Amino acid sequence: MKTIRSKDNPTYKDAVRLLRKKNRDQTGMFLLEGPRPVIDALKAGNHLETVFFTEIAADSPEAQEAERLCSENGVRTAVLADDLFGRLSDTEHSQGVLAIACKSIPQELSGSVVILDRLQDPGNIGTIIRTAEAAGFGALIAIKGTGDIYSPKTARAAAGSLLRVDVFEGMETDAAVSLCKEQGLRIIASDLEGAVEYTAADMTGSIALVIGNEGSGISGAFRDAANQKVKIPMEGNIESLNAAAAAAVLMYEAVRQRHAAGKAE
């Protein structure tokens, strides 16, 4: 495995360009950090252009597994000098494995979906993607104005789920509503106005769960289109939960109801 020590190396420069959203959008690629997400992507057959290792991490068992999988899949590898790797890494204490990955291109909605209505925080977005996979939501729609799904911080929070959940980026609200109706998805919106407690709502079957902006909540268009608006009761002086926490509560209520309905049948 070759070692890259120059910032002028073409392969390294390709990776540095992906720190900017414009280049991620143009190339359809992004940076995926961490040994487990990289290994999972390789095992699943997701396309990786290059996998980088730090000099220290290259000798670890996980790095050796990743290198073996790269060899089997024809993915090029390289060791990066620590200072070069540090420029690409989004973590303070990196595990020393990072890849140039290709975005997945979704074809159609399948099953339940999460809709992010202009969320901004990359940690929230990434955590919701990861929770969506765990809760059996196969797709995510990011409404235009939502933060960058493939930013390094979001990709790190989402881990490997970013390559396993179908992501539809930059969709207009009206288009998302129409698509949900075409697919027979009931729209469940997290809101406070005219909403019922989430445990009283019917979230069985295929649903589109709308999570609103951290500050302003869901848009008026989603309020009008919702088949059901739900709220999570609060005690003390708390007005609302973190968006990712609220999304997890609602997604797992849908899971609970789905399992309960299955047992009843």
Q: Which two tokens stand for residue 87?
A: 């420029």
| Residues across the chain | 265
Query: What's the whole-number mean pLDDT along residues 179-186?
Result: 96
Residues 100/76, Cβ–Cβ less than 8 Å: no
Question: 85 with 52, same domain?
Answer: yes
**Which pLDDT score, from 0 to 100, does residue 265 have?**
65
Amino acid letter for position 81: A
Per-residue pLDDT of 49-75, as tens digits, reads 999 999 988 888 998 999 999 999 999
Residues 31/19, Cβ–Cβ less than 8 Å: yes
Question: 143 with 203, same domain?
Answer: yes
Question: 152 with 241, same domain?
Answer: yes
Per-residue pLDDT of 21-45, as tens digits, reads 999 999 999 999 999 999 999 998 8
Question: 93 with 186, same domain?
Answer: no
Question: 119 with 69, same domain?
Answer: no
Per-residue pLDDT of 83-138, as tens digits, reads 999 999 988 888 999 999 999 888 788 899 999 999 999 999 999 999 999 999 99
Question: 98 with 10, same domain?
Answer: yes
The answer, yes or no, to whether residue 169 has pLDDT greater than 70, is yes
CATH code for the domain in which residue 8 is found:
3.30.1330.30
Helix (H) or strand (E) holding 73: helix 61-73
Question: 88 with 162, same domain?
Answer: no
CATH code for the domain in which residue 175 is found:
3.40.1280.10
Single pTM value for the model: 0.93
How confident is the prediction for the chain on average, in pLDDT? 94
Amino acid letter for position 10: P
CA angle, 196 as apex, 211 and 252 as ends, to 5°? 50
Q: Is residue 252 part of a domain?
A: yes
Question: 117 with 38, same domain?
Answer: no
Dihedral in degrees, nearest 10, Cα atoms 114, 117, 123, 129: 10
CA-CA distances (angstroms) from residue 75 to 23, 122, 160, 248?
21, 28, 18, 35
Query: What's the whole-number mean pLDDT along residues 151-178?
Result: 94
Spatial neighbors of 175 by CB under 8 A, at least 6 apart, are none
Total domains in the fold of the chain: 2
Question: 74 with 158, same domain?
Answer: no
Question: 117 with 96, same domain?
Answer: no
Question: 52 with 8, same domain?
Answer: yes
State which residues form the domain around 224.
113-264
Q: Is residue 108 part of a domain?
A: no
**Which pLDDT score, from 0 to 100, does residue 239 have?**
80
Dist. CA 136–CA 111, nearest whole Å: 8
Give percent of the chain with pLDDT exceeding 90. 85
What's the first-to-final CA gap in the chain, in angstroms?
Answer: 56
